[in-house]
Structure formats: C-alpha cells, structure tokens
Structure 1
Amino acid sequence: MVKDYNGLEMTASEKGAAAFNHVIDGYLRLAHDTGTRLKGLLEIDAEIPMAQILKGYFFMLMATRSLRKRAIEIVETVNLLPKSANEREKLHFRALCAWTGGKNSQAIAAWEEILLLYPRDILALRLAHHGYFYNGDSQNLCDVVSRVSHAWDKGMPNFGYVLGMKAFGLEETYAFDAAIRAGLQAIEINPIDPWAIHAVAHVHEMTGEPTEGINWITNNESGWIGCNNFRHHIYWHRALMWLEKREYAKVLNSYDNDIWNPLSEEYLDLCNSASLLMRLELHDVDVGDRWSTLAEKCKNRTDEHILTFADIHFALALLSVKAVEAQDLIASMKCYAESKGNFDDNALVSAEIGIPLIEGVRAYRDKKYQRAIKWFMPIRYHVQRMGGSHAQRDLFAMLLLDSALKADHIPLAKSLAAERMGRLSKSSWTQKKYIDCPRSPV
C-alpha cells in the first residue's frame, strides 16, 4: 500500500502520493502556488480520493458562495470514493460532506476522529485548527495540537508546522511565553512558516510590544513574503503595531502599498482593509476615499454567509460609505439566519452575534451611540463565536468604548476603560481613552 510522507496509507500511485505530499507542503507553508500544485496532482490522477477531497477543502477555505457550490458538486459525485478507499479517506469525505452542508461542528468532529486514529494526519490537524479558529474555540484551537503531540517528534516531516500551530493556540489561550518558545522552535526547523511567524507577532501585539513585533516581522520577512495572500495579513499586523506607536504615515503607506490589493477578492484581504481603516478612524486619522474603493468590492458580497466574521467586515465597509448595499446585506443575513437556523451552524452565529454586531456598527456610523451600546453590550462576552483572533475581534471592544465616550455615558466609559487597562495597559489608544474619561471624585 502506498503511503504519504507521514506514513499514512492512501489510495494512490507512488507518483500520485508524491504529488499529494507536494500540495500539502504548499498548503502548510501557505505557498502562492498551492493551487497550481493541486492542478498538477489532478493531472497525474484525478481519481485519487484525497485529490478530489482536497479540491473540495480548498474551495471551502476560500469562503465564497460560488466555490462552496463547486465543493458541493464534488461531494455529489457518485463515484468519488472507490471501494478501495480506506477508513481515513472515508472520514475525510464525511468531513467534507458536513462542511459543505453547513455543519461545521460535524466536520470538526470527523477531523477529530481521524486524529484519534491517525494522529499524524497533518491535513486533518490543520483543518481542525482552522475549524476551531472560526468557531471561536481558543481552547480547542490549542488543545487539538496537544492531543496529537504524542505521535510527533523533531525527526518527522511537518513537525515544524505542528509547532507553528501549537504556538498560535498557546497565544490565543494567553500562554505567551510558551507561544514564543514554540514559535521560535517552529521556524528553527522550518524558516518558511508564515503561520508560526504570525503566531509570534500576535504575542508581541497582545503584550504591548509593538517595536519588538515590528522587528520580528521585518527580520523574518524571508519566511512569509513569498506566501499567498496571507502575506497581506502579516503586513496588517505590522501596520497595527505602527498604529500603536502612532506612526500614522507608515500605516497609511502600508495600507496603500502592502495591504490593499486592488486585484484581490479574497475575504481576508477585505477584512484586513476594513478593520485597519476603522482603527485608523478610531485614532482620529482621516482615511480619505479608501472606504469607497473597499466598499465597491464588498457590494458584491452581500449574500455570502459562509463566515459571520467576513459578513461583519463587509457590512462595516458598506456602512462606512452608507451604501444601499449595506441594507441588502443586513436583510439577506436576517433571512439566512431565519431560514437556515436549524440546518447551518453559521446561521445561528449570524442570528445571535453577527446581526447584533452589524446593527451596533450601523448605529455607530449613524452617530446613534446609545443605540450602538445597546447592541454591543449584551454580546460583548460572546463575540468570539464569530471566529477570528483576539486581536481581530478587539475592534468591536474599541467601538463599544468609543461609543460610551461619545454618548457621554461616563460610568460605562470609565468601567470599560479601566477594564481595558487591566488587559492592555501598554496600549497607547487604551491609555488615551482612560485619560479621556472624567475621574471619579476622591
């Protein structure tokens, strides 16, 4: 039986297995040519079960309605899995079926079952890690890597990537020192690991070390500059650190030359742009007509509803220019949440988290700050359910605090600012907002 480079049996020829390994390596290092590698695998043998499943996975990772339809077409292919397909391949197919059907938790459960039986399945590990990330489950984001650690050691292919995932999981569970150690070990093994470099950057951001973070990202540029659109996200992190240092000219220059990609329609690029522009405005920086060019792209994304995280950022861009499409997105999202609530995991998140957040943003943009507070406050400790990192979701905590100040809701503003100082005492924006709050009399 043919095996992949982690010693797992697969239904393929030796040549097909080698091509599959090449695709997985591209996926793990976020290589710009991963799609080309997949095409090469399919040209060698399109009947390899894991080749078709991988194609479906990649379509789903793009998080667009059109590509989700193509992934559904794959699972509906009658002869996708030959009788010779092994147990692990059948479990991957089950995961893909669940994912395309909107059952994200069932997909994660299938990947977890794979990892229980085959803990060196790096594809299942990476996808489960991704799934927990967009479920907002930081603990399992970390623990899914720990659960398979017994099966890995330094001499195995892909061990560096496992450490990179471990580093990010540790950072998202506030184990910052351990995250740094794991991230450094990861890039010592494999210097081209954008995910590991990104994990360490997160630590510097969360611990209020913008200078160290900027130096880290810049000094390790060779390890991420050649990756796919994820490089724009790493630029985004560096821009946040310049923002923290109030080096606004550098932030705007990076937005225009590194982060904004006029040719890209990928959801993460649009989210990066919307998030950074909003943060700049929270720093009282004029962003010019940048919202308009971003909103033009988001006008075509009003009925995606694959990731609540993405929908919220599309809405943020549209509401920032008062585009009529913002109302279309909100109406579409409400209809989706009502009609799919019992069938689609994301629909429930849209109903309980996405719509309140968007309504809060709409009120904020309309300068109805008391109304914004009413939308933001009840869900402030549940926002993680939309997915994303602590750093990404922090934008909405910033909007709540700014709303309280602008509404002259002084008791709430003081409470939120003091709370924030307890978590992010080194943050210049936090310090300013704390100072802006009238002090209580002695």
Structure 2
Amino acid sequence: MNRDRYDLPLTTASDRAAAHYRDGVDCMLSAWHGAEDAFDKAIAEDPGFALAHIGRARLHQLNMEGSKARAVAAQARELAASATPREKSHVEIMAAAIESKPKLAVTGAEAHLEEYPRDAQVLSILLGAFGLYAFSGRPDHDAAKLAICERHARHYGEDWWFVSYLGWSHTEAGNLSTGRTLSERAMGLRSANANAAHGLSHAMFEQGDMEPGRNFLSQWMPAHDRQSFLHGHLAWHVALTLLDDGDLDGALAIYEQHIKPANRPYPPLNIFTDGASLLWRLALAGQTGLEPHWRDIASYGENYFPQAGAHFADVHFALATAMTGSDALEARLAQLEARAADGKLLPGQAAIDLCRGIRAFAEGDNAEAIRLLEPAISELTRIGGSHAQRELWEDTLIVAYLRAGRGEAAASRISARLDRRPSARDEAWSRAAQEVAAPRN
C-alpha cells in the first residue's frame, strides 16, 4: 500500500498519485508554491483519491474560493467512504474547517491526533497565527499551540515541518531563545521552508534583532517563489524592520512592491491584514500621502470581507474604513454587535471596542480612543494572529497617550515593552513620552 511521508497508509493504487500527493503536502507544510498543481496531478492520476481532493479543497478555502472549497470537500467525503478509518476522519475534520464549523474541527482534530499523532496536516490546521486555535477566541491560544506540539513531539523527532512549528509555538508563548534555536534548526533541516523562515523572523523580531532579521530575509527571500502564499507576508516582516529603523520610505516601497492589492497570488486574508496594518503603522509614524493606498485597501476589504464573521479581518476592516471615513464601518460595527448578542463573536466585546477605539483615534478623539483601547488591550490575544500583528493596537494606544499629553502613561507602557525586547522605535517613543511628562516652567 502507498504511504505518505509520515508512513500513514494512503488509499490509492497509483504510485504516481501518491507521489504527487506527498509533494502537495510538503508544499503546504513548507508554504511553498506548487501544492495546487501537485494535488491536481494526484487527482488526475486517481480521481477517487479522497485525500488529494480534501487537500485541494483546503487550498480553495485559503484562497477564499468558498463554493469551490465546499464542493470539493463534499466530493472528498463521498470518496472517503472506501478509504481507511484514518483517512475518513482526516477528511471529516478538514471538511468541518472548510464548512466554518471550527469547534467541531478542533475537537475532532484533538481526538484524531490521539490515535494518529503523525497526521501532520490535521495537526497543522490547529497551529499558526491563522490556525483554529488562534481564531478560537480563547485568550490562551498561544499556550494551547505549544501544549499540543509538546504532547506529540515524540512522534516527530527531527521532522523539518514539526520543528518549524514547535519553534514558532515556543516563540509566541514567550520562550524566545528556545523558539529561535528551534527555528534555526528547522532552517538547517530544510531551507526551502517558508514556515521556518517565518518563525525565525518572528523570533528575531521579538528579541529586537531587527537588522539581523532584515538581513536574513534579504538573503533568503530571492530563492523563495514569489507566488508562494507567505511571500508577501515575509516582505511585511522586512517592512517592520525598516519602520523600526525610521525608514518610512523604504517600508512604503515594500508595501507598493509586495503587499498592496494588485492581482497578487496570496490569500486575501494575508493581503488585507498585512496591507491595512502596514499602512496604519506608517500613518502612526508620520508618513503622509497614504490616501490613495487607504482607498485601495478599503475597497479590497469591502470586496473580500463584505460581512462580519472573520473577526481578524473585521478589526483590520476598522483600520481601513476609519481612515477613509467610509460608512461601512458603522454597518460593520452593527453586525459585530449582533454577532456578540448571539454569542457568535468569538473574541467578544474586545473586538468591538478595538474597532470603536480605532475609529475614535482616526477622528482625533484621543481620550475616547484611550477609554476604549485600554481595557480591550488586556483581551487582545482573543483576536488571534501573532504578537507582531497585534502590537499595532498597543502602538495606537501609546500614540493616543502622547497626543493626549499623558506622557507618564505612555512611558509606562513603552518601558514594559522595552523590558520584553529592545526597539529603536520604542526608544524614540520613550523620549517623546518623557518630554510630554516633563514639568513645564
């Protein structure tokens, strides 16, 4: 019987289909271009191969091709009737995620991994900044990711994918030295691995090694296919290091060349959230002339995320529409309030307060922005994403403090962050806070 790279049986008699499927899975696990083509070839070799269909459905989902994703997942379910119990369970879990049934997918995945711990694709959907744990609304999702990795670590050893995500999980849980060491080890095991490069970039960012992080990505990214779905996000990481260095023009150039909506082959959630957050950071830092970019990213958000539901997109929707003055923000807030009343807004009131705080800040009402953002920051992890992505809201609160003349409050928050990691930008803000707080004669 054919097997996958983790030695799990595959219900296909075609050696070629199995080989293409293994290639597709490796491309997905390394965030490398080619998974779509590999799964399509596997299906062409064996149209009855259920796992190839569900892998293709997952890619449709990531690209926000919802109807295609659900149709292919339904087909995979039918085909899995003649597959092994492990494959049937795998298909059901992935289909639940595709059909927007995250709680079912999470409980199914956790149970599945107790019996089949080396089913890496099932483990992978729980992990990462956009995984099921991160978007569950729970405040301890970073700890949950690390816990499940450590629970199953003995089954993976030095597997390049697993070491990548073990390192990432340690970094996001605050174990920066361990996270960086593991991410560097993963890069040594397989350099053609954007997930490891991404994890290492986060570790360097959290440790304040901005220039080394920029140098690493500048040397590594030329070998990375620009069609791979993490390429734009890794460029976003380069832009963050330029922002920290005060190079606003360089960061804006990164946005224009790699991130802004322009028929890019990246998942819409990445394009929208990276674009809106980078523009907001540039605005906080004093960059002018961003109005055309704001209109562009707001239009993109209204096209791909027209209704509330994807809460990480919703809080970024607030950034874009607050800066353009669009009436769409008020409509989105009403939708979020309705979802909260029905218990469907997983991050709860925090997501709404973050949106309202952003609007107040954009309107110049710093006192109201502070009133809304201060309590929401304590619940910030509930929106998902990474520490680096969520830091934007704390940045906004610091600037609101400074603009409101509350230098001591700004200095306290900046000091806490400098204790966590050194940052040239935070040091500049610290000096500004001290000037604001200084007694005047």
Say yes or no: TM over 0.5.
yes
* One-letter code aligned to 2:16: K
Matched, 1:321 2:319: no
Matched, 1:290 2:279: no
State the distance in 1 between where 2:248 and 2:218 align: 18
**Which residue of structure 2 lines up, in the alignment, with residue 188 of structure 1?**
188
User: 1:165–1:227: structure 2 CA closer, same or farther, 3 Å change rule?
Assistant: farther
Name the stretch that deviates more: 233-242 or 314-323: 314-323
**Which residue of structure 2 lines up, in the alignment, with residue 430 of structure 1?**
426
The answer (yes or no) to whether the contact 1:302–1:325 under 8 Å persists in 2 is: no
* One-letter code aligned to 1:353: A
Name the stretch that deviates more: 114-123 or 129-138: 129-138
| 1:368-387 correspondence to structure 2 within 5 Å | 368-387=365-384
| 1:130-209 correspondence to structure 2 within 5 Å | 130-135=131-136, 137-154=141-158, 159-209=159-209
Name the stretch that deviates more: 426-435 or 235-244: 426-435
State the distance in 1 between where 2:132 and 2:418 align: 31
**Alpha-carbon displacement from aligned partner over 1:83-123 (angstroms, at most 9, x marks no partner):** 42222122223323432453323312222222221222121
TM-superposed deviation, 1:226: 4.2
* One-letter code aligned to 1:281: A
State the distance in 2 between where 1:279 and 1:404 align: 16
**Which residue of structure 1 lines up, in the alignment, with residue 268 of structure 2?**
266
Q: Which runs of 5+ in 2 are unaligned?
A: none
The answer (yes or no) to whether the contact 1:268–1:310 under 8 Å persists in 2 is: no
**Which residue of structure 2 lines up, in the alignment, with residue 39 of structure 1?**
40
TM-superposed deviation, 1:197: 0.9
TM-superposed deviation, 1:177: 1.7
TM-superposed deviation, 1:8: 0.5
TM-superposed deviation, 1:287: 4.1
**Which residue of structure 2 lines up, in the alignment, with residue 412 of structure 1?**
409
TM-score calculated relative to the size of structure 2: 0.89
**Alpha-carbon displacement from aligned partner over 1:235-264 (angstroms, at most 9, x marks no partner):** 110111011011222112222112224113
The answer (yes or no) to whether the contact 1:303–1:332 under 8 Å persists in 2 is: no
TM-score calculated relative to the size of structure 1: 0.89
Of residues 344, 347, 354, the one that matches 1:357 is 354
**Alpha-carbon displacement from aligned partner over 1:48-78 (angstroms, at most 9, x marks no partner):** 221232233223333x4xx334434445559
State the distance in 1 between where 2:396 and 2:70 align: 38
The answer (yes or no) to whether the contact 1:299–1:318 under 8 Å persists in 2 is: no
**Alpha-carbon displacement from aligned partner over 1:402-423 (angstroms, at most 9, x marks no partner):** 1122223455334323333332
The answer (yes or no) to whether the contact 2:268–2:304 under 8 Å persists in 1 is: no
State the distance in 2 between where 1:253 and 1:79 align: 45
The answer (yes or no) to whether the contact 1:283–1:429 under 8 Å persists in 2 is: no
TM-superposed deviation, 1:204: 1.5
Count residues in correspondence: 427
The 4+ residue runs of structure 1 with deviation greater than 6 A are: none
**Alpha-carbon displacement from aligned partner over 1:21-46 (angstroms, at most 9, x marks no partner):** 12101111222232222222222233
**Which residue of structure 1 lines up, in the alignment, with residue 102 of structure 2?**
104
User: 1:82–1:436: structure 2 CA closer, same or farther, 3 Å change rule?
Assistant: closer
State the distance in 2 between where 1:216 and 1:373 align: 37
SS of the residue aligned with 1:300?
A: helix
**Alpha-carbon displacement from aligned partner over 1:176-221 (angstroms, at most 9, x marks no partner):** 2222221222121211011111111111111111111111111222
User: 1:405–1:148: structure 2 CA closer, same or farther, 3 Å change rule?
Assistant: same
**Which residue of structure 2 lines up, in the alignment, with residue 240 of structure 1?**
240
* One-letter code aligned to 2:32: A
State the distance in 1 between where 2:366 and 2:234 align: 32
State the distance in 1 between where 2:420 and 2:181 align: 22
State the distance in 1 between where 2:196 and 2:76 align: 39
State the distance in 2 between where 1:77 and 1:218 align: 42
State the distance in 1 between where 2:417 and 2:161 align: 33
* One-letter code aligned to 2:21: F
Q: Which runs of 5+ in 1 are unaligned?
A: none
State the distance in 1 between where 2:40 and 2:339 align: 34
State the distance in 1 between where 2:77 and 2:252 align: 52
Matched, 1:48 2:49: yes
Of residues 274, 277, 284, the one that matches 1:275 is 277
Aligned-pair Cα RMSD in Å:
2.4
State the distance in 1 between where 2:59 and 2:309 align: 14
State the distance in 1 between where 2:105 and 2:47 align: 23
Matched, 1:401 2:402: no
State the distance in 1 between where 2:410 and 2:309 align: 34
User: 1:25–1:305: structure 2 CA closer, same or farther, 3 Å change rule?
Assistant: farther
The sequence identity of aligned pairs, in percent, is: 23
* One-letter code aligned to 1:235: A
State the distance in 2 between where 1:53 and 1:403 align: 47
Name the stretch that deviates more: 36-45 or 394-403: 36-45
SS of the residue aligned with 2:255?
A: helix
The answer (yes or no) to whether the contact 1:164–1:196 under 8 Å persists in 2 is: yes
State the distance in 1 between where 2:218 and 2:276 align: 23
**Alpha-carbon displacement from aligned partner over 1:131-190 (angstroms, at most 9, x marks no partner):** 223346111222322222212234xxxx11111111211111122222222122212121
SS of the residue aligned with 2:415?
A: helix
SS of the residue aligned with 1:148?
A: helix
TM-superposed deviation, 1:222: 4.3
